[in-house]
Amino acid sequence: MRVHSLKTLREFWKKHADAEDALRAWFKTVGKANWSSFSDLRKSFGSADVIRGNRAVVNIKGNTYRLVLKINYDWKIVYVRFIGTHAEYDKIDAETV
């Protein structure tokens, strides 16, 4: 899978240094993945939740942070739509970010 965009993750871990290792590990895992459905993603990240519109929420660093992803399984692209703390996540609509 290709992740768009690493830049978003880098900018986040500049502000939240404790997230860097977990985000790098997540990025590495996704880069090696070949998901064709949400069930494949769930095998890689057991805590992932599905959202409408080929979106998913993944917990990072023991649910300290959350990633909202839009995934095009046919094209093998994962778009990072949001990354933030649990409290920040509670303030957004994950289906529209």
**At 14, is the pLDDT very low, low, confident or very high (cuts 50, 70, 90)?**
very high
Question: What confidence tens digit (pLDDT) does each residue in 41-78 have?
Answer: 999 999 999 999 899 999 999 899 999 999 999 999 99
Which pLDDT value is given to residue 16?
97
Q: Which residue has the tokens 């990633």?
A: 67
70, exposed or middle or buried, with CB in 10 Å at 0-12, 13-18, 19+?
Answer: middle
Q: Is the pLDDT of residue 90 over 90?
A: yes
Contacts of 24 (CB under 8 A, 6+ apart): none
Rounded CA separation 20/96 (Å): 26
Beta-carbon count within 10 A of 62 CB: 8
Can you give the pLDDT at residue 53? 86
Fold of 2-89: YaeB-like fold (3.30.2310)
Residue 5 has pLDDT above 90, yes or no: no
